[in-house]
Amino acid sequence: MWGICSRTMVKVGMVKPCGLIKPCHLVKPVSATRVPGRYLTHQKGLPTLPVPPLQQTCERYISALEPILEMDQLTHTKELVDEFKKAGGVGEKLQKSLEKRAQKTENWLSQWWVQVAYLDYRLPVVVHSSPGLVLPHMNFSDKQGQIRFAAKLIAGVLDFKTMIDNETLPVEHLGGKALCMNQYYEVLSSCRIPGLKRDSVVNHAKSSRPPKHITVVHNFQFFVLDVYNSDGTPLTADQLCVQLERICSSSLQDNAEPVGILTTQHRDSWGKAYISLTKDKTNKESVSAIQRSIFTLCLDGAMPQVSGDEAYRSCAAVQMLHGGGSQWNSGNRWFDKTLQFIIGQDGTCGANYEHAPAEGPPIVALIDHVVEYTRKPEMVRTPMVPLPMPKKLHFNITPEIKKDIEEAKQAMNILAQDLDMRVTVFSHFGKNVPKAHKMSPDAFIQVALQLAYYRMYQRCCATYESASLRMFRLGRTDTIRSASSASAAFVKAFDDTSKQNTEKVDLMEKAVKAHRSYTNMAVSGQAIDRHLLGLKMQAVEEKVSIPAIYTDTAFAKALHYKLSTSQVPSKTDCVMCFGPVVPDGYGVCYNPMEDHINFAMSSFNACKETNSAHLAQAMQDALLDMRTLLEHTPRAKL
């Protein structure tokens, strides 16, 4: 049996991980030496995730509902919450069991979270769960350049992997506090495996014989590429280049069955197809080689030609998120693989990652390192030893599998057609302007998004922002609810001509402060969403009937995030993207740099009310209008 939570993603009986530490940019790999056990010592020193007080969560839940509910609905929900939290009530009982669970486990939440948020979630991982990442356009435009860059990229990842293997990555910090580093162990040599009702994740990094190969996919054909010499040294970029050339020249024909497209399917369908695919011994071995590999490298074919910077960036985001459909590169992937690097022929590069094992920041830290590595001149001398031919992975395609592939193509193409992706660079300012006004840049951006949405729809909506829980051992995320009473008061006043600018600025400050204080509460484990989830899971586990607060329409409304957002900062000037989490909502990912902000907005074409370009425009207007207001208004209390 395979466990599910990060630490338990080790086959029972296997060796526990030894260590790592910290994101690359603070690392000096040259002088680094291995300190065995450093990782475990660090992890043990981290605090455990607290269970917030029940009364506090109940009160905060009601406050969070205020901006998104009508008065009568709120009154009804207050009654349900009072009933839930009363002395001797079901809430108290569940709270006690949850506190017990917290004492017995390393993290009371992480295992449940991976199950609920990822492994039990049955929509395709493509668009609905796996994020994409677009790197700056690289300086090549032909096959030779593509191969050359790919070779350097592989060498860069292996360089990062050495730091993981040697435990020489220093510990990351947030607000002065050390963070859990576990996720760094989970991203290489891992893969998701489809099940009939629930998926699982395997991590081969911790096996007694950790993998020494990556998988390369070109023209929908998969290859095993050993990336270490027999003496254990990683292949140099020159050696990798030779090997990639051999792969490309032995996969020139472009009529291979795109087996990889099966991984784009609804998880139940893929779970079924997986069983039929792996009945065949050759297929099983091929799939296993992909699953065990350190990561997958996708050498892509062409994408549709577009003109203009914004259209190019949006097309690149689509390439990273879903590959463009079966006629383009969606079949040139194995979406279950935790980490896939994608290299186009025209200098477009990026990655796609399967979200179950890790959050964005460790992936971004790895990618920042790789980009820096690819920019350095090569110093290493290449050994003149002949290398074995990379092994092609064969698949026997039965009529049944052929049918599954055709169905997957159709479903993928519908999804690709449906996704409305818009990448924009807001170039007027970045973190610098809010900072100059003594405001948290992230809070400023979130409040601007509330304003943009309100201007488009004349109402507020439940809004999700990811907050890191990595201050705690095995911590993942909680939700910052960006729609607050303070943000609602601000957005309603902003275009009201009867209001004075000084009042608007005052409301803006309050909204920004409210957001920053929610953030502080969330990163310190005192937000409401994961606690409410925990109490519900506890009821499920104890087989008691689900309390009425969870079947209330207000709860469904609170979880219907029409704005699903995330800040993912990076050193490299890149754009991350993901899909909306509801059919009538938006996915908004942003990377605030010092003097500009990269945004990726997504929505579904099938929804007539949403339009990513309109939201992007409204966001730009909101940010500019907020700055103008600040610049033209003397601050009230200065």
- Binds 578, which of ligand COA, ligand HC5, none (CB < 5 to 8 A, cut-off by type)? ligand HC5
Contact by Cβ (8 Å): 153, 237: no
Q: How many Cβ atoms sit within 10 Å of the Cβ of residue 254?
A: 10
Question: Partners of 203 in the beta sheet?
Answer: 190
355: Cα within 13 Å, side-chain hemisphere:
27
Rg (CA), the chain: 25
| Closer to ligand COA by Cβ: residue 224 or 568 | 568
Q: Which is nearest to 303 in space by CA: 271, 273, 325?
A: 325
* 33-41, 74-82, 194-202, 461-469 -> range binding ligand COA (CB under 6 A): 461-469
Q: How many Cβ atoms sit within 10 Å of the Cβ of residue 552?
A: 18
* 259-267, 407-415, 551-559, 565-573 -> range binding ligand COA (CB under 6 A): 565-573
Contact by Cβ (8 Å): 222, 290: yes
- Binds 581, which of ligand HC5, ligand COA, none (CB < 5 to 8 A, cut-off by type)? ligand HC5
Among positive and negative, which fits the CA dihedral 389, 248, 293, 152?
Answer: positive
Residue 168 DSSP SS3: coil
Q: Which of residues 35-74 bind ligand COA (CB under 6 A)?
A: none
User: What is the residue type of 195?
Assistant: G
DSSP string, 497-563: TTS-HHHHHHHHHHHHHHHHHHHHHHHTT--SHHHHHHHHHHHHHTTPPPPHHHHSHHHHHHH--SE
- Binds 576, which of ligand HC5, ligand COA, none (CB < 5 to 8 A, cut-off by type)? ligand HC5
| Closer to ligand HC5 by Cβ: residue 460 or 589 | 589
Q: Is 361 in the site for ligand COA (CB under 6 A)?
A: yes
Q: Is 243 in the site for ligand COA (CB under 6 A)?
A: no
Q: Is 438 in the site for ligand COA (CB under 6 A)?
A: yes
CB of 84 to ligand COA, least distance (A): 28
416: Cα within 13 Å, side-chain hemisphere:
25
Contact by Cβ (8 Å): 249, 380: no
Residues in CB range of 397: below 8 A, 6 or more apart: 257, 259, 405
Q: Which is nearest to 321 in space by CA: 421, 445, 461?
A: 421
Q: Which of 22, 38, 218, 431 binds ligand COA (CB under 6 A)?
A: 431
Residues 206-225, mask of contacts with ligand COA (x by CB under 6 A): --------------------
CB of 275 to ligand COA, least distance (A): 31
The kind and range of the H/E element at 480 are: strand 477-481
Number of residues written out for the chain: 638
* # residues contacting ligand HC5 (CB under 6 A): 15
623: Cα within 13 Å, side-chain hemisphere:
26
Q: Is 602 in the site for ligand COA (CB under 6 A)?
A: no
Q: Is 179 in the site for ligand COA (CB under 6 A)?
A: no
| Catalytic annotation present for 218 | no
Contact by Cβ (8 Å): 390, 224: yes
Q: Is 598 in the site for ligand HC5 (CB under 6 A)?
A: no
Residues 533-572, mask of contacts with ligand HC5 (x by CB under 6 A): -------------------------------x-x-x----
| Closer to ligand HC5 by Cβ: residue 411 or 581 | 581
Q: Is 180 in the site for ligand COA (CB under 6 A)?
A: no
SS3 sequence, 97-143? HHHHHHHHCCCCCHHHHHHHHHHCCCCCHHHHCCCEEECCCCCCCCH
Contact by Cβ (8 Å): 503, 511: no
- Binds 438, which of ligand COA, ligand HC5, none (CB < 5 to 8 A, cut-off by type)? ligand COA
Q: Which of 299, 411, 527, 581 binds ligand HC5 (CB under 6 A)?
A: 581
Q: Is 169 in the site for ligand COA (CB under 6 A)?
A: no
- Binds 272, which of ligand HC5, ligand COA, none (CB < 5 to 8 A, cut-off by type)? none
Residues 477-496, mask of contacts with ligand COA (x by CB under 6 A): x-------------------
User: What's the CA gap between 562 and 67, in Å, rounded?
Assistant: 14
User: What's the CA gap between 352 and 462, in Å, rounded?
Assistant: 27
Residue 596 DSSP SS3: coil
- Tokens for 264? 């784009």
Residues 470-509, mask of contacts with ligand HC5 (x by CB under 6 A): -------x--------------------------------
Specify whether the backbone of 176 is left (phi greater than 0), alpha (psi in -120 to 50) or beta: left
* # residues contacting ligand COA (CB under 6 A): 19
Q: Which of 68, 157, 467, 601 binds ligand COA (CB under 6 A)?
A: 467
Q: Which of residues 108-147 bind ligand HC5 (CB under 6 A)?
A: 131, 133
Q: Which of 357, 360, 362, 434 binds ligand HC5 (CB under 6 A)?
A: 360
213, 355, 437, 515: the catalytic one is 355
Q: Is 430 in the site for ligand COA (CB under 6 A)?
A: no
Residue 2 phi/psi, 5° resolution? Answer: -100, 135
| Closer to ligand COA by Cβ: residue 374 or 477 | 477
Contact by Cβ (8 Å): 387, 243: yes
| Closer to ligand HC5 by Cβ: residue 187 or 589 | 589
| Closer to ligand COA by Cβ: residue 177 or 557 | 177
Summarize as ranges the residues that interact with ligand HC5 (CB under 6 A): 131, 133, 359-360, 363, 464, 466, 477, 564, 566, 568, 576, 578, 581, 589
Residues with a known catalytic role: 355
Summarize as ranges the residues that interact with ligand COA (CB under 6 A): 359-361, 431, 435, 438-442, 466-468, 477, 519, 523, 566-568
